[in-house]
Chain A
Amino acid sequence: MNGPGELVLRARRDDAGAWAALVDRYTGMLWSIARSYDLDAADGGDVIQTTWLRLVERLHLLRRPDSVGAWLAATAHRECRRTLHHRRRERPGPIEGAAAPAPVDYSVDKLLAALPERCRAILRVLAQAPPLTYAEAAAALGIPVGTVGPTRRRCLTRLRERLGEHLSAGGHW
């Protein structure tokens, strides 16, 4: 009933509620993608707005409404790359924080910060509520869909190990 494909069909009829449901389902995912490129809030906001506007302009042309999540993820990745490209053009030379796209410093949370970047990124995407499908998560992360499950398991195991160490050292989360 309220699957993404159904929401797209309703949004085509200018159903604001369906559109809001799409926005709430995928904006967190899009934000995590923008952040994975180390974009600041202004650039990240622009990329996400452009991504939604792009969906609106081709809402009636979308061939596979069910795959709207993966479409949004791919569009956001493309816009993020474009933005990095622009930034490098505008400010030639090393750009602070943009040399290695991806690492975002979540130093506030030591447990997550202690995980490899790859794990942090995948756990962030898989922690979206409501949960993304594996196909959507794969598009958001730019990895093959078959690797989502195994990576998820490995990263959760790592996190659980850190958590165990942390708890046994008297910490709490």
Chain B
Amino acid sequence: MTDDETLLERVGAAFDALDPVPAQVRDAALAALASRRPGAALAELSADSAEGVPDGTAAGVRREHGARLLIFTGPGVTVEVEVTGAGAGRELAGRLDPPAPAAVSVRHRHGEVAARADRAGHFVVPAVPAGPISLVFELTDASSIVTSWVRL
């Protein structure tokens, strides 16, 4: 009675009516482009204690007192981050390796939280909300590093 395309159009309309993409999902997607930092080196997630091994590398990440440990690896740089607490009171404590002082900011859904890494590369960022987050390090030589987005 109808050709395939017409039938599929009706299927699409049915799903759109039953379970439409929420407007805020599209808005968040549109806003994502503003997070682009093409000049920064990307450190990608190489291990996450909450799920074992995401991509077959760095097996056996340790877990201490229930904290989640994330390891990001980029060209010549490693960022280790321990996540403790829950809700809006999550705290990130970590280390930049090789050690270097840096301005640190944690980007999240509603904005960002700033902190500093000391000479040893250590940093602590309090009050990080749940949802997708990414860390940005501005080094003293004007170079910068961003980590992959992960969900807390």
Contact = CB atoms under 8 A, between A and B. Distances in A.
B151 A123 contact: no
A112 B14 contact: yes
Contact of B151 (A57, A79, A127, A167): A79
Interface in B9-25: 9-12, 14-15, 18-19, 21-22, 24-25
Interface string B68-102: 00000000000000000000000000000000000
Given A50-B151, A57-B35, A106 B18 contact: yes
B30 A124 contact: no
A45 B7 contact: no
Contacts, number: 126
Chain A contact residues: helix, strand, loop or mixed? helix
A106 B19 contact: yes
Interface residues of B, number: 39
A135 interface: no
A163 B150 CA distance: 44
Interface stretch (A20-28, A63-71, A93-101, A139-147): A20-28
Contacts of B15: 32, 106, 112, 124, 127
